[in-house]
Structure 1
Amino acid sequence: MIEISLDFKNVDQALGRLAGFSRSKRPLMRSIAGIMADAVEENFAQEGRPKWLGLAPATRKRRGDGKILQDKGRLAASIVSRADGESAAVGTNVRYAAIHQFGGEITRAAHSGWVRLRTDARGNLIRQGTKGRAARLAVFAKDSHKRVRTVRYTSSEGKTKIPARPFLALTQVDADNIERTVSEYLANLLG
């Protein structure tokens, strides 16, 4: 009689580790979330990968050499990552994030209101400067200013096109980093 005997001890151990994998994916998901968060941070630093469409001339003139999507830094600072045993995610709760991510058109409704403008002792409006556009612009008054003139303004409806500037995006290098992280995790798990 011929007898064949197989030793499944190593296979059983590997299967046991794989069974443990279903319970312990949280460290892997945290690593993936970290890679994604780094990718988003790099998108802001490089102003897109590939490069985002530049600022409109009027915006560039008003802001100077500021970075795209980083006028005040609120959007970049709002990026958070989250990971649990089943998923990894990166996102933001900033209300205007979607229009920058996907692009689109913003319609501003016509509106009116009141503004307080500073005046001198004779009641004349104080101007922002003496030449050019500044000579036509009045200075807004704070609540603490005593000499003011309250003026009603009306603004017509306006539309602004916002180009897509996907900041929540991964490059092929980022995807390769995630794939390598998963492969290393599984290799360590299987021993």
Structure 2
Amino acid sequence: MGFTIHVDDAAVLAALRRLVGVFDDRSAIAKEVAELGESATRLRFRTETAPDGTRWKPSLRAQVSGGRTLTEAGHLSGSISSQSGADFAEWGVNRIYAAIHQFGGTIRARNAGALRFRLANGGFAMVRAVKMPARPYLGISPDDASDIVAMIQRRLQGALNAP
């Protein structure tokens, strides 16, 4: 069983061409998605929340001396950037220590018997290992996903409504 549809309506054909055009050049929507991801990630540092909406575990430094978790000097949040192209949208950070904060994990002394670091109260500590809790900042929240779908819908609707 099969069927064929022939459309002679110039307006319908023009709308179909515009829709195809939206999918031919996806660089504009990819740029919007990358910018949304970058902006949402920056907001997570201000609100100290993961993409799933859970609050980050406060750092000892933030608890003792105030301020925000993961923002003592602002290097991690300051390195957030995005880029996009015809077939990709990405955002992230460029700090070597970014993954331990995103995923958590244990930092162990490698070349010495212990890790030595300054405490929030000004003193020092020496330990064999430090367990870092995960504080996810990269990802797509449910609101981000809804915004991305809405962006795509606006582009498609704009193509249909264009003269």
Asked if residue 171 in structure 1 is aligned to residue 148 in structure 2, the reply is no
For the pair shown, which has the larger CA radius of gyration, 1 or 2? 1
Contact 2:62 2:69 in 1 (8 A): no
Distance across 1 between alignment mates of 2:88 and 2:137? 20
Q: Which moved more, 1:100-109 or 1:19-28?
A: 19-28
Contact 2:101 2:133 in 1 (8 A): yes
Distance across 1 between alignment mates of 2:47 and 2:35? 18
- Point out where structure 1 has 5 or more consecutive residues left out of the alignment: 113-132, 138-154
Structure 2 residue matching 1:88: 3-state secondary structure: strand
- Point out where structure 2 has 5 or more consecutive residues left out of the alignment: 1-5, 114-120
Residue identity in the other structure for 2:139: A
1:19-38 equivalences under 5 Å are 19-38=20-39
1:1-191 equivalences under 5 Å are 7-48=8-49, 49-56=53-60, 60-61=63-64, 64-111=65-112, 158-191=128-161
Query: RMSD between aligned alpha carbons?
Result: 2.7
Identity of aligned residues (%): 29
Regions of 4+ moved over 4 Å: none
Distance across 1 between alignment mates of 2:107 and 2:10? 64
| Count of aligned pairs between the two proteins | 146
Provide the residue aligned with 1:121 in structure 2.
none
**Alpha-carbon distance change, 95 to 157 in structure 1, aligned in 2, over 3 angstroms:** same
* 1:109 Cα offset (Å): 2.3
Q: TM-score, normalised by structure 1?
A: 0.67
Q: TM-score, normalised by structure 2?
A: 0.78
* 1:23 Cα offset (Å): 3.2
